[in-house]
Amino acid sequence: MDILGNILYDTVYHSAPIVLCVLGGIFAYKANVLNIALEGMMLIGAFTSTLCAFLTHNVALGILLSMVSALIFGLIFSLMGVTFKGNVIIVGLAINLLTSAIARFVLVTMDTSNITLSFLNVADFQIHIPVIENIPLLGRILSGHPLITYISFIGIFIMWLLMYKTRFGIYVRVVGENEDAAKSIGLKTDFYKYAAVLIGALCCGLAGANLSTERLGLFTNDMTAGRGFIAIAAIYCGQGSPTMSSLYAILFGLARALSVNLSIYAGPAAGLFDVVPYVIMVCVLTAVSIVKRKNNKIRGFKNE
Amino acid sequence: MKMINFGKRLLNSTLPVLLAFVIGGIIILLIGENPVDTYGILLGKSLFTTKGLLNTLHYASPLILTGLAIAITFKANIFNMGVEGQMLLGAFFSGVAGAYLPASLNPAAAKLICLAVGVLCGILFALVPAVLKAYFHVNEMVVTLMLNYAMIKVLEFLSTGVFRDYSSGYVCTPTIHDNAMFSRIGNSRITLFFFIAVAAFLVMYFVMNKSRLGYEVTAIGKNPEFAEAAGMKVHRKIMILMIISGALSGLAGSGYMMSEQFKYTLSFSGNPGLGWDGMLIALLGGHSPVGILIAAVFYAALKTGADHINLYSTVPKEIVSVIQGLIILFLAVKFVDEHTDIRKKLFGKKTGKAETAAAKEA
């Protein structure tokens, strides 16, 4: 019973940054701007929040700045990718490399290999919900998470509203599905693409702050460890729907929680549990693709 | 006309590099150092001394191969991001083969077996995304990225558990035997592996520029539907391209293992890794083999120069990674349009300048 509670708690714990990343990525995905810079934006968010909290001892300011820094890279991304019509995949890759290089550069000039917020007790951030906390299993799962974790799960609903129930969401989807049509009715397509990328950057910055400052009080370089790419895979599997994509993100969180919790029993093979999420993702992608193509009548090969 | 096109392509490759260096220079100024001196050390020690140049060529060898591995798939619009994983797998098992083969084996045979193991592993690992892409239309970019991380974890497990050398103080596989090592030529680091890389380059030059496959790659990259309609079996071509890519990556990994590292450690390919460097090189070289050769040497010069920066100045060598990131960022944008005719050229130059100015602001 205890281990089940632990696994489920860790599922929520590990899903949160990925869910946030997914939420950030879906708008760009729907606007037909493949944002693979999620990873880099998350990293810069994590880095700035910890650095700022380290320098000023003000966590709230750190989280705010994490969003600002991610927004700056979102602006660079959309400037290069949308305004100058550069290849978005290359721009994304460049931002991933650049952010990691900047973080490494600053860490070296500061003469450390990681930033630790020693003044901080991470347990203070955990919010214990009064009544729910006492329900046996449910309380263990739902209570005791930091703020951004709750934001990320509430965010699924907000993004769903924004995407399907507002004019803005509809326009973004129109721009993605048929740019010429969107232009012909007078939509400023570049504006919607910018907006989509910037929403993504904001969420990624938050995800980064959650990952480093709020959960661990620590930043090490490359601590995002491919979560941004997992988010992209989740978006692909869920085809950009907020709920479905988030579900895949939670699936990854579950796999990760399993690998962490079961590694106590597995001994030296513990490292292999970390492979499971990636393999699951590849299998899911394949299955989704097979189902999608089952009724395909197009002759020959079609790219994408 | 051809010359003008060539000039435009050259401009498109050199402008981003210059821009990145300018911004890097500003950063160096900000931390209170002299950028000219720093760049002098960076390039002077790695390109303008004989020993430095030979060392640079040595480090360029795996980069040429990974660059070619990326280019042949990217040119066909197949985004094989898994070069890193394929290279690591090839390196790991050629290292294991080199360590577990009998030490008395004929040196030539031992080297050949190790290289073959590396190439084979690269191909096998590249086949997974290739089959998924060609027959199930799974997005190859996401799959290869995922498999990279999975492969790094698997190799971490193998090197900490099954194949660990317990006599060593840190996590690594046993050192390969002398008969599987490429010996150094002269007093520099250059080995036979460089010439193998050059041979692979010549083969790929022929394949990409002179053969039918090279033409088909370009056609598929420009328009896969047209290629299919014109009678090319696109899915079979994707398999072939991925196999070539995997083979080159595997060769890069095993060669680097046998000429430089001699055992698999967790930081085998460095940061950001040879496969990722290969991507930058392919972009810098505009996916053409000659361009890749030049870009790889330039890039290796940056890498060897980075160590000299650490030795001879107080600028941290991580500045080089920042410059690399900036180079890719600017490479994504075409500063000069390659397809405009002479009359439009003036116009093209104008917009090019405007973009440069705006990019500087960014």
For residue B156, the chain A residues in CB contact (below 8 A) are 271
Per-residue DSSP letters for chain A?
-HHHHHHHHHHHHHHHHHHHHHHHHHHHHHTT---TTHHHHHHHHHHHHHHHHHHH--HHHHHHHHHHHHHHHHHHHHIIIIIS---HHHHHHHHHHHHHHHHHHHHHHTT-SEEE-TT--GGGG-B--TTGGGSHHHHHHHSSB-HHHHHHHHHHHHHHHHHHSSHHHHHHHHHHH-HHHHHHTT--HHHHHHHHHHHHHHHHHHHHHIIIIITTSEEETTTTTTHHHHHHHHHHHHTT-HHHHHHHHHHHHHHHHHHHHHHHHHGGGHHHHTHHHHHHHHHHHHHHHHHHHTT----S----
Q: What is the pLDDT of residues B324-335, one digit of tens each?
A: 888 888 887 776
Which amino acid is residue A38, in one-letter code?
Answer: L
The per-residue pLDDT for B1 is 57
The per-residue pLDDT for A270 is 65
The per-residue pLDDT for A210 is 86
User: Does the pLDDT at position B118 exceed 80?
Assistant: yes
Q: Which of B163 and A199 is assigned the larger pLDDT? A: A199
User: Does the pLDDT at position B353 exceed 50?
Assistant: no
Give the closest-approach CA distance of A34 to chain B in angstroms: 11
Residue B350 — pLDDT band, cuts 50, 70, 90?
A: very low
Average pLDDT over residues B251-274: 83
Which among A72, A108, A301, A302 is the top mutation candidate for probing chain B, defined by the most B β-carbons within 10 Å of its own β-carbon? A301
Q: Which CATH class is domain B59-313?
A: mainly alpha
Q: Which of B163 and B361 is assigned the larger pLDDT? A: B163
- Pairs from A283-287 (Cβ < 8 Å, separation ≥ 24): A284/A233, A284/A237, A284/A248, A284/A251, A285/A233, A285/A236, A285/A237, A285/B132, A285/B138, A285/B139, A285/B142, A285/B143, A286/B132, A286/B136, A286/B138
Candidate from B31, B143, B332 with C-beta closest to A91 = B332
Q: Which of A288 and B83 is assigned the larger pLDDT? A: B83
The per-residue pLDDT for B341 is 44
Residues spanned by CATH 1.10.3470 within chain B? 59-313
Distance CA B332, CA B105 (A): 49
B183: which DSSP letter?
P
Candidate from B137, B157, B235 with C-beta closest to A271 = B157
Candidate from B138, B160, B235 with C-beta closest to A286 = B138
SS3 sequence, A197-233?
A: HHHHHHHHHHHHHHHHHHCCCEEECCCCCCHHHHHHH
Give the closest-approach CA distance of A61 to chain B in angstroms: 24
Q: What is the pLDDT of residues B274-313, one digit of tens each?
A: 888 888 888 888 888 998 998 899 888 888 888 888 777 7
Contact present, B301 and B92 (Cβ < 8 Å) = no
Query: Which of A21-25, A146-150, B42-46, B356-360 is predicted with the least confidence, judged by mean pLDDT?
Result: B356-360
Contact B328 A97 (CB under 8 A): yes
Q: What is the pLDDT of residues B24-41, one digit of tens each?
A: 888 888 887 788 888 888
Contact B137 A84 (CB under 8 A): no
Q: What is the pLDDT of residues A67-93, one digit of tens each?
A: 899 999 999 998 888 888 777 888 888
User: Does the pLDDT at position B336 exceed 70?
Assistant: no
**Contacts A–B by Cβ distance under 8 A:** 163
The per-residue pLDDT for B349 is 46
- For residue A86, what is the nearest residue in chain B, using CA coordinates? B333
For residue B272, the chain A residues in CB contact (below 8 A) are 97, 100
Contact present, A289 and B136 (Cβ < 8 Å) = yes
Contact B229 A101 (CB under 8 A): no
Strand, coil or helix: what is B286? coil
Give the closest-approach CA distance of A202 to chain B in angstroms: 19
For residue B132, the chain A residues in CB contact (below 8 A) are 282, 285-286, 289
Contact present, B323 and B305 (Cβ < 8 Å) = no
Contact B150 A275 (CB under 8 A): yes
Tell me the domain boundaries of chain A.
Answer: 15-246
For residue A266, the chain B residues in CB contact (below 8 A) are none
For residue A278, the chain B residues in CB contact (below 8 A) are 146-147, 149-150, 153
Distance CA B4, CA B347 (A): 15
The per-residue pLDDT for B2 is 66
The per-residue pLDDT for B329 is 85
Contact B334 A86 (CB under 8 A): yes
Give the closest-approach CA distance of B215 to chain A in angstroms: 18
For residue B286, the chain A residues in CB contact (below 8 A) are none
Return the bridge partners of A145, or none: A127
Average pLDDT over residues B177-198: 84
Q: Which of A204 and B186 is assigned the larger pLDDT? A: A204
Contact A105 B358 (CB under 8 A): no
The per-residue pLDDT for A271 is 66
Per-residue pLDDT tens digits of chain A, which is 304 residues long: 577 888 888 888 888 888 988 988 888 888 888 888 888 899 999 899 888 888 888 888 888 888 899 999 999 998 888 888 777 888 888 888 888 888 888 888 887 777 777 777 767 777 777 777 677 777 777 777 888 888 888 888 988 888 888 888 888 888 888 888 888 888 888 888 888 889 889 988 888 888 888 777 788 877 877 788 888 888 887 778 888 888 888 888 887 887 777 777 766 566 677 787 788 778 888 887 888 777 666 655 555 4
Give the closest-approach CA distance of B43 to chain A in angstroms: 20
Which among A282, A283, A286, A299 is the top mutation candidate for probing chain B, defined by the most B β-carbons within 10 Å of its own β-carbon? A282
For residue A239, the chain B residues in CB contact (below 8 A) are none
User: Does the pLDDT at position B352 exceed 70?
Assistant: no
Give the closest-approach CA distance of B329 to chain A in angstroms: 5
